[in-house]
Each structure stands twice: as structure tokens, then as C-alpha cells.
Structure 1
Amino acid sequence: MPVAPQSHPKGLYFIFVTGMSERFSYYGMRAIFTLYLINALMLDKEFASAIYGNYTGLVYLTPLIGGYVADRYIGMRRSIFWGALLMVLGQFLMFFSALNFENVELAKWLMYGGLGSLIFGNGFFKPNLSSIVGRLYEPGDKRLDSAYTIFYMGVNFGAFMAPLLCGYLGDTGNPADFKWGFLAAAITMVLSLVFYAAKNDRYLVAPNGEAIGIIPAQKAESRNAEGTGDKPKQKLNVWQLALWIAGGVVLFFLFLKGFGGDVIGAVIYSACIVVPGFVISDPSLTKIERHRILVIYIIAFFVIFFWAAFEQAGISLTYFAEEQTNRNVLGWTMPASWFQSFNAVFVVLLAPLFSTLWIKLGQKNRDPASPTKQAIGLFLLSLGYLLIAIGVKNVAPGVKVSMLWLTGLYFIHTMGELTLSPIGLSMVNKLSPVRFASLLMGVWYLSMATANKFAGTLSSLYPEAGKTKMFLGFEISTLFDFFMIFVVMSVFASVVLFVLSKTLQKLMHGIR
């Protein structure tokens, strides 16, 4: 009986470095982005928050496009390359925007061009880099959860370093210095592109030695079907396609009216319904494949609640860090933007422990199924918000509390993130039919697009003097009220997912 390999393939560490560099670029730009909008372009907070929410929402929407194009036309490797190239362009446009910040109109158009390039570049890069991790292993390999945790550690190492360096260079109090933070993000993206282009042929190989990601997944599956004599897969019925497009248009206008003319919100929310329906109605799917895809959809729905709360880090929790957190460290005031590195450094420290934990539990056949892990992640998220709610209870506006409350929140949230996010990536990879691997990874990121848009809506409830804010009939007048929204929302989602866990495991047909 062959012994299962214990070490990971070298390709995993190649992807580790590639993803780390790209995430440095993304989080470095993000760390100073809203500060640039407010302090250099002199936009008001409401407009700046809308731009931020639309940007982060669209960043997670475009993987649908990148996943579809990769699966059907150009393959994962080329998608990653062209995505990285677009992101290089986007980061340099952000640099030129900051270079010309005194000419506000020019700076705005350069910024919009940069954001557009970053959004579409991310769409081609992100889902395919995540999907290609799973192709490094044989189906059913118990190291896969561990592999995605290691991959996630690399992503977060870049996310940890980026706010520190880009914030140090760009967030100096002088609007003219923002360009240096954006330039650092641009240079890092160039290095990521060069490294990937130079080494992908060497390291992106399957366990049998075959190259990964060159042939589009659907073409590769068709060739395999011909070679084994299997019946060729049916093509999508044109009427079925037209029906989903029509449904998408109807939903778009309904959401547009319901959300007061928010075009981007209408696009994201309608896509969140139409695209999953389009995929699962494909006539080539077997009953088991449909069941497994349905599991992805159900868990993705619950993940929306996780990320809507978690992504407050870049919005309301940053307001809290700046306005009501004592950031004095031995006479030095730490920049509020540096708190965005806390989550990432905790991921780097804890990811090896979680990776080892999943391997040990797998060896003893005690590894929890993916839905159970997701529910645990949601419960930990609620505990983080409960901690900070306790910390701000009865605290008057303007009074600053110890940074230990915010630090504790990020620590607990990181444990929840490590239980939910890399395991979610692994689950999508394990449950997806090969021909839909990148597209379904895009559907997974679509839930995060919806969450980011929803996060902006929830962040608008942050208490402000002289303003009455309501949520589902409840008045939000204090920070305690505000943080309890996330406690109740996430613990409710966790309990429901725990209840559904056994049913979801049956629908996974033997995959854990």
C-alpha cells in the first residue's frame, strides 16, 4: 500500500510567493485609499465610503468573468498573467493620480481608470490562482485543507507588511506623499508578475508531472471524455441562456428601484442570484454534481454574513480606531491605518497551527466537515464583536478606550477567518466539477462581493452625533448598539448553519 506524501509540492510555495506579492499590492493600496480620497482629493466621507464600497464589491464580482474566460477559452495560467498585467497598470494609474492630486479632475479620472484596471485584473487573477492550488494534488488528498491554509498564510503575510510600508510612505500627513505609497504597491505588483512569468512552467505541475492550467478546463474535460468513450457533454440551450439573461435584467431593475438608483449594488445583487442559477441549470451536470454545487451555494449565502461583519475592518472599525481608541505607545501615536495589519499578522502566526490541526484531525478521521467549520468561524466572529461591545458599553462619545479591545477583536476574528475562509476555498475546489472549477470559485467570490456591498450599508449605521439611525426597527444610538448588530447577525447565522450541517454533508456525497 503506497504511503501518502506528507510534504507539500513545490508549486504550493510558488503560489504562496505569487499570492503574497499580489496581496501586498492590493492591501497596500487599500490601506491608504480612503485617506487619499478624504485628505488629498478632499471628498466627503459619505462619497469616499461609497467609492470604497463599490470598489471592494466589484473586486469580488469580476472573478466571475475571469473564471468563465479561464474555464472556456484561455486557461488558468494565461488568466493569471493578464490579470497581473492589468493590476500593474491599475497601480501605476493610482500613482499618477496621486502625483496630480492638486488637479482634482485629472486625478479623479486617473483614479477611476486605475480602479477599473485593478477590478478587472483581480477578476482574472484571484479565482484562478486559488483554483490552481487544488490541481497540485490528487483528488481526495487530505493535505488540501492544509495547503489552502498555507496559501492563505502567504496572502496574509503580504497583507500584514503592506499597510505598514505603504502607510509609512504615503500616510504622513502631507497629501503629496500618497503617491509614494501607491508607487510601492505598483512596484510590488511588477515583481509578482515577473516572478510568475519566469517560474510558472517549472512549478505548476500536477502529481503525474503534467502541466496545470494551460488548456481551458472545459476543453480538457472534453478531450478526456473522447479518450474514454464517454458521451460528450451537452451545450447550453440558447433559450435557457436567454431566460437567465432576461431574468438578470428584470432583477437589475427591481434592485435598482429598491436601492434608490444604486447601479453597482443592483448589478452585484442581481448577479448573486442569476449567475449561480445559470451554473446549476447547466444540462451537463449530473445529480451528484448538482447536489455538491448546491452545498457551495448554501454555504456561500452564510459566508455573506461573515464577510459583511469582518470587512468592517476597512470602514467602521477604522473610524473606531481613529476616533475612540487610545493609540499612544510610549509617547508615540500609532497610525489608525496600522490596525489593518493586526489581522494579517495574527493569520501568519496562527495559520501554521491551524494547518497542523487539520492534518492531525484528518489522520484520526476526526476532521470536522466543511459546513461545521464554517459555522464555527461565524460563532468566533460573533465572540469578537461581543468582546468589543463589552469594551464600549457605557463609554461616552469621544472617550478613548484601550487598544486591547480592538486587538482582542482582531485576534478572535482571525481564528474565525482561518476556520472559514481557507476551508471555504478548499471546499469549493473539492466540490466543483473540473469544467466549472474557476467559475464556481468566482461564484464563491461573488458572495464576498455581496458581503462587501452589504458591509458598506451596515457601516453607514455607525453612530454620529445629532443623527438618528435605525436598523430593522431598532434605534442605533451608541457604539454598543452598533456592535451588537454584528453579534446577533453572526451568531444567528452560525446556529442555523450548525443545524443544516448534517444535511449538507449528505449532499456532499462523501466529500468532507
Structure 2
Amino acid sequence: MNANKQSEWLGHPRGLFLLCGTELWERFSFYAMRAILVLYLTDKTINGGLGWTTQDALNLYGIYTGLVYLTPVLGGWLADNFLGQRRSIIIGGALMAIGQFTLALPNSFINPYELQAFYVGLAFLIVGNGLFKPNISTMVGQLYGEGDNRRDGAFTIFYMGINLGSLLAGIIAGTASTHYGWKAGFLCAGIGMLLSLVIQLVFANRYLGKIGVAPAAKAAMDESGSNKKQPLTKVERDRLKVIVVMSMFVIIFWAGFEQAGGLMNIYSQEYTNRMIGSFEVPAAWFQSLNPAFIIIFAPLLAVLWRRMGSSEPSSPIKFAMAMGFLALGFVCMVGAAMQQGGDMSVKASMWWLVGAYFFHTLGELCLSPIGLSLITKLAPLRLMSVMMGTWFCANAVANYVAGLVGSHVGDAGPLAIFGGIAVTAGIAGLLLVLCSSKLVDWMHGAEGVSKQNSDANLTEKPVTAA
């Protein structure tokens, strides 16, 4: 079933908004935990933290976020071949809820096994995320037929839902952990995951119909009338090449962007003047700047891409724009480091951070939702969840690199790290511009608008999904 066969809301299938709601609360859960993880690890034990060093905490953060983006390959394969996407989402969501509530267990309840319980909670989150993450995104793409020019806009709306969850997470978890301790923040994350599960269980059959129920590989064999998997065609191989090449640039982008949860998080806590009059802004609140900017600008970009029509930039050019914005964001962080003048006792203005998150957000909107949309355009249906998981593998590598780079701030200094990332992102953007024409050729028209399909969408009468 695609968009043509179900009723619409605001020009999109209602199933899109169901998936937005499911992902919103799952991302609330993820970002609530992320906003306080490093702060919890480095806080003194007398305050309920684990008392780790900054380097150890950032190393663990890099390993954890890397695994979070690595396991979707296995989760995508299981969904495509055995479980189906809908069942994978439910199982993954349940495992993540268990993980969050494990982290939230009171110290008095789990002593002297607090550290072991912490690792067990992270393990549940990693495995559950592997089943959940690639499949929810893949189902968004299946709502639209080939050549439907609403797809990039749909993923931008979907991405806005993700970041509404992130915005709420930083504020709610940050406030709860400040007033009631770190465990309260983890408890908020667990409640968010339960809400995600309830939304999916109650509304999926009504608004998604049969989408995601059958494993994609089995559905592809049934459609071809063969019991064997079909070999890849030349067009499919070329399109997969595009995914691989673009993944290389994704690594560079996210390695810089993910400093937000690690190095920039600590920078806001230790080296930023957060006073507004007599009120000190909690460091975790800065994690909400990015989703707030996304909520503001995502609808504008979704409209812009659609209205540009044939003038809309190709995906490689949008990725190049993302690299440029990432570089500008770290130029702001260079400004913050220069304001300190090498004296770490001097605190930089918080407006440098605001500027950095603003430009990083524009870059994210030009890369992340466009990348998700690109996978659903280029990957064969029988491999779509696997390829979505492979796409997230680039994030896995990037997150590990981000933690590794951030952990050396004590050796190299913030100025060298922020400046190095800015230069690297700028060079990557130029390379993307140079090779964009070849990448578009390899897509074999996957980004072209099918007028015939568009006309069909206008004449088709909407029918409520089964």
C-alpha cells in the first residue's frame, strides 16, 4: 500500500504522522538519556554520578553511540528476512524501555552492582535500537510510490517529529535530573519509550495497513513469482554505489556534529558563561537548541524543496551545503575558544554555542532527512531495511570518531579541534560539489519527478486505509 491508497492529511498519508508520533517519543527517550549521560558519568559520586574522568566518559560515549548506529544493520537484516518491520519495531521498543528503566533503578536498590546494572541497561538500549531505528525510517519511504515528489518533504516532516522529541527531552530530562537527580532523567526516558510503543500498537493497523507486516525479501520473491532471490541489476548496483560514496561524507559530517553530545556538552558545562541575570541556564538545555531550530526551519525547507520543482538541488549538492554549514558552526566554536585566549578559567559567551547549533542545524536538515529519503529511492525493496541499517553504520563510525576526537581536547586544546573540524568539513563540501554530476548519473533518474505518477495522485480518490 502506498500514499495513493489511503486518506491524506496536509497533503501526506496519515500513516506519516503516525510514524512521526512513534519516532517522536522514541527519540525523546534516546535524547533524554543522551543529554545527561556524560554529565552523569563525570559527576561526583556524592551527587549520584559515577565520578569518571572526562576522557573515560567521552570514550564510553563514543563506543555507545557507535554501537547504537552499528546494530541497525543486523536489525534491518532480521526485519527484511524474518520479522518484518512492524514486529521489529515493537520488539526493539520493548527492549529499549527495559534498558531505560534499568538505568533508572535507584542506587540503593542495585548496590553494590550499580556499574553492572548501568552496562546491562546500555546493552538493552543498543540491541533494541538496532531493531527499531532502520525499520521506522524505511516504512516512511514505503508510504510513497516511485517518482512521488513529496518524499523529501515527507522525510523533513518526519525529521521535525524526531526533533520535537529531542527538544522535549533536553528540557524535561535536564530539569528532572537537576532537581531530582540523574535517575529521574533516565526514568523520563523510559516513560517516553512506553508512549512510543503504545502509539504504534494502537494505531498501526488503522493507518499503515499492510505496510511493514511481511518481511521485504519474502514479499519481493512473492512478487517475482520465484523462490530464489533475484540478482542485482546494473541500475541497482549503480544506485548502491551512490549510497556507499555518500556514506563516506556522512561519516565526516556526523563526526563533527556529534561533538554536541560530548565535547560541546562539556564545553557548555565547564567553559561557558551561562548566566542570564541571576539565572544560570542548565547545560543540558543547550541540547534543546538543535531540535528547536529544526522545528522552526524544517517546515520551511520542506516547502522550499517542493516549490523549487526542477530547480531543487540534487542530494549530493544538498550534502555539500550541509558540510558548509557544519564548517560555519565550528567557526563559531573557534570564536568561543579565541575569546578564552588559551585561559581555560575564562568563560566564553553562550552566544557562540547558539550560533554553532544554528548552523549545525541547517546542515543537519540538508543531510539527514535527505539521506533517509535517498535510501528509500535507491535501495531495492528487498534490501531496503538492510541498506538503511548500513546507512546508519556510517553514523556508527562517525560517533566513535567523534568520541575519540573529543577525548583529546586536553592534549590538543579546543581551538585546534574546532578549527580542524571546520577545515575538514569545508574540504569535504568542495569534493562533493566536484563529484555530484557522476553521482546523479549513477542514480539513473531516481530523483526525477514522474509526471505520470503526480497526475495519478491528483485524480486518485483517497480511500481510508484498512
Name the TM-score, length of structure 1 as normaliser. 0.82
1:495 aligned residue: 430
Deviations 1:255-279 (A, max 9, x none): xxxxxxxxxxxxxxxxxxxxxxxxx
Partner Cα distance (1:86, 1:354) in 2: 34
Aligned letter for 1:153?
Answer: M
Task: Indicate conservation of the 8 Å contact 1:32/1:171, yes or no.
Answer: no
The count of residues paired between Structure 1 and Structure 2 equals: 434
Is residue 2:88 matched to residue 1:79? yes
CA distance in 1, matches of 2:236, 2:330: 37
> Contact 1:295 / 1:504 at 8 angstroms: preserved in 2?
yes
For residue 202 of structure 2, the aligned residue among 186, 198, 201 is 198
Letter aligned with residue 352 of structure 2: W
| Counterpart residue number, 1:93 | 102
Correspondence for 2:141? 134
Contact map agreement 2:100 2:187 (CA 8 A) in 1: yes
**Is the Cα contact below 8 Å between 2:58 and 2:406 reproduced in 1?**
no
Deviation at 1:116, TM superposition (A): 0.6
**Cα distance in 1 for residues equivalent to 2:118 and 2:347:** 34
Counterpart residue type for residue 493 of structure 1: A
Cα–Cα, structure 1 residues 7 and 119, in superposed 2: closer, same or farther, change >3 Å? Answer: same
Q: Tell me the CA shift for residue 34 of structure 1.
A: 1.7
Find the counterpart in structure 2 of residue 185 from structure 1: 189
Residue 355 of structure 1 and its aligned partner are, at CA, apart by 0.5
Question: Of 297, 301, 311, which aligns to 1:354?
Answer: 301
Query: Shift of the alpha carbon at 1:104?
Result: 5.6
- Paired AA for residue 442 in structure 2: L
Q: Is residue 225 of structure 1 aligned with residue 224 of structure 2?
A: yes
**Higher RCO structure, 1 or 2 (CA under 8 Å, sep 6+):** 2
Counterpart among 417, 422, 441 of residue 506 in structure 1: 441
1:216 paired with 2:215, answer yes
Select which of 326, 331, 336 maps to 1:386: 331
Is structure 2 residue 234 aligned with structure 1 residue 287?
yes
Alpha-carbon distance between aligned partners in 2 of 1:320 and 1:369, rounded to the nearest angstrom: 36
Moved more, 5-14 or 187-196: 5-14
Q: Which residue of 1 aligns with 2:364?
A: 417
Residue of structure 1 equivalent to 2:453: none
Instruction: Give the 5 Å matches for 1:171-182.
Output: 171-172=178-179, 177-182=181-186
- Decide whether the 8 Å contact of 1:156 with 1:344 is kept in 2: yes
Deviation, 1:386, is: 1.4
1:102, 1:13 → 2: CA distance? 40
Q: Report the counterpart of residue 323 of structure 1 in structure 2.
A: 270
Structure 1 residues 228-239: aligned runs within 5 Å: 233-234=228-229
Distance in 2, Cα, partners of 1:103 & 1:82: 26
1:10 matches 2:14? yes
Q: Does 1:64 align with 2:62?
A: no
Classify the secondary structure of the residue corresponding to 2:84.
helix
| Cα distance in 1 between the residues matched to 2:362 and 2:283 | 22
| Match of residue 269 from structure 1 | none
Instruction: Give the superposition deviation at 1:480.
Output: 2.5
- Of the three residues 53, 59, 83, the one matched with 1:50 is 59
Is structure 2 residue 291 aligned with structure 1 residue 344? yes
Separation in 1 of the partners of 2:407 and 2:234?
Answer: 43
- Write out per-residue CA displacement over residues 418-459 of structure 1, whole angstroms, 9 at most, x where no aligned residue: 001100000011000000000000000000000000001110
| Aligned mates of 2:110, 2:186 — CA distance in 1 | 17
Residue of 291, 310, 317 corresponding to 1:372: 317
Structure 2 CA distance for aligned equivalents of residues 374 and 500 of structure 1: 12
**Deviation (angstroms), 1:101:** 6.2
Deviations 1:478-509 (A, max 9, x none): 43222111111101111111111000000000
Distance in 1 of aligned mates of 2:51 and 2:331? 35
Instruction: Kindly state the Cα deviation for residue 391 of structure 1 after the two structures are TM-superposed.
Output: 3.7
Instruction: Please state how far the C-alpha of 1:100 moved relative to its aligned partner.
Output: 1.4
Matching residue of 2:162: 155
Deviations 1:335-374 (A, max 9, x none): 1121111101001111000110111012xx1111111111
Q: How big is the shift at 1:47?
A: 2.0
Question: 8 Å contact 1:37–1:43 — kept in the other structure?
Answer: yes
Say whether the 8 Å CA contact 1:373–1:419 is kept in structure 2: yes
**Letter aligned with residue 136 of structure 1:** L
CA distance in 1 between counterparts of 2:110 and 2:12 reads 51
Matched-pair contact (CA < 8 Å) for 1:233–1:284: no
Aligned counterparts of 1:189 and 1:424: Cα–Cα separation in 2:
25
d(CA) in 2 for partners of 1:482 and 1:447? 21
Q: Is the 8 A contact 2:42 2:54 kept in 1?
A: yes
> Residue 22 of structure 1: which of 6, 26, 32 is its match?
26
Q: Which amino acid aligns with 1:306?
A: F
Question: Structure 1 CA distance, aligned partners of 2:35 and 2:29?
Answer: 10
Structure 1 gap segments, 5+ residues each = 206-210, 235-282, 470-475
Identify if the C-alpha distance between structure 1 residues 434 and 358 changes in structure 2 by more than 3 Å, giving closer, same or farther: same
Residues 124/484 of structure 1: CA separation in 2 closer, same or farther (3 Å cut): same
Gaps of 5+ in 2: 44-48, 448-466
* Amino acid of the structure 2 residue aligned with 1:309: G
Contact map agreement 2:321 2:429 (CA 8 A) in 1: yes
Tell me how far apart the structure 2 counterparts of residues 289 and 159 of structure 1 sit (CA, whole Å): 35
Out of 440, 464, 474, the residue aligned to residue 387 of structure 2 is 440
Deviation at 1:233, TM superposition (A): 4.1
User: Secondary structure of the equivalent of 1:140?
Assistant: coil
2:121 to 104, 114, 121: 114
1:38: how far off? Answer: 2.2
- Cα distance in 1 for partners of 2:323, 2:51 equals 37
Q: Secondary structure at the match of 2:351?
A: helix
Report SS of the residue matched to 1:19: helix
Are 1:379 and 1:490, in contact at CA under 8 Å, matched by a contact in 2? yes
Residue 246 of structure 2 corresponds to which residue in structure 1? 299
The aligned amino acid for 1:495 is L
Following the alignment from structure 2 to structure 1, what is the Cα–Cα distance between the partners of residues 149 and 112? Answer: 54
Kept in 2, the 8 Å contact 1:148–1:422? The answer is: yes
Aligned-pair CA distance for 1:28: 0.6
Q: 2:41 — aligned with what?
A: 37
Distance 1:186 1:117 in 2: 12
Q: CA RMSD in A?
A: 1.7
**For residue 24 of structure 1, what is the amino acid of its counterpart?**
F
* Cα distance between partner residues in 2 of 1:188 and 1:397: 37
The more displaced of 116-125 and 50-59 is: 50-59
8 A Cα contact 1:41 1:104, kept in partner: no
Q: Which amino acid aligns with 1:507?
A: W
8 Å contact from structure 1 (residues 41, 101) kept in 2: no
